[in-house]
Amino acid sequence: MTADALVSRLRAAGCVFAEREATLLREAASSPAHLDALAARRAGGEPLEQVVGWAGFRGLRLRVEPGVFVPRHRSGLLVDLAAPLLAPRSTLVDLCCGTGALAAALAARLPGLVVHAADVDAAAVRCARVNLPGAHVHRGDLFDALPAALRGAVDVVVANVPYVPSGEVALLPPEAREHEARTALDGGVDGLGVLRRVLAGTAAWLRPGGSLLSEVADRQVDAALAAAAAAGLEARAVADAELETTALVVRRPA
């Protein structure tokens, strides 16, 4: 398949950045037949990152398998907010870690972190173990996946929890709703079901003065702040207009 033919095929499938995607597909292909297969997957609506097997995030190239949540650029806000709260040898936990993108970006910025990550999805855990060499990657449900020795000793938790209300998952772009695990998207009736569970366990796992950071939608801020207060935690919301996202920054009182 010629380069022009590949670009035309991708454009016909609705790929806005067809030229760039064509370049990445050609780089990922090991043969003409392989390129045709990759192009068919992308034209069929599979996320480019899953097709080529990696996603770029904060200067890193991270392993992404089919079905795994693709790291979003907006999640870099959590990295920026968490980094000043960490120091060498700090203990970082990445819950709902997916590919481990948040922990990987923080570990690259702050060498020497003690990193634990957890996800319920087996494919996500496989990716995270590739993307987080030297870290402790666990499969399981939220804090239940972590070693008991971490209770009360964690400096920072980053938790990119699912926060789309169940009734709105069907409204997501096809790349997400058809090709990413539902457990990585569906946050329950109001989108805050998983976050409430995380908040309920946070005080037991953070050290006094430790912090939890998570994404929320703008319309969920008031309810999220109330849930944090109900769990005995201090919280504030930080919005970033450029990244078009909002983070909940939670602290266990010292």
Question: With 90 as the cut, is the pLDDT of residue 1 above it?
Answer: no
Please name the residue ranges forming H helices in 56-121: 76-82, 101-109
**Each residue's pLDDT tens digit, 144-156:** 999 999 999 999 9
Rounded Cα distance, 53 and 11, in Å: 21
Rounded Cα distance, 62 and 75, in Å: 14
pLDDT, residue 216, reads: 97
| Residue 162 burial (C-beta neighbours within 10 Å; 0-12, 13-18, 19+) | buried
Q: How many residues does the chain have?
A: 254
In the chain, where do the E strands start and end? 54-57, 60-63, 91-95, 114-119, 136-139, 154-159, 206-216, 234-240, 245-251
**Each residue's pLDDT tens digit, 60-119:** 999 999 999 999 999 999 999 999 999 989 999 999 999 999 999 999 999 999 999 999
Q: Which two tokens stand for residue 31?
A: 């043969």
Do residues 25 and 35 lie in contact, with contact meaning Cβ atoms separated by under 8 Å?
Answer: yes
Rounded Cα distance, 172 and 45, in Å: 13
**Each residue's pLDDT tens digit, 197-244:** 999 999 999 999 999 999 999 999 999 999 999 999 999 999 999 999
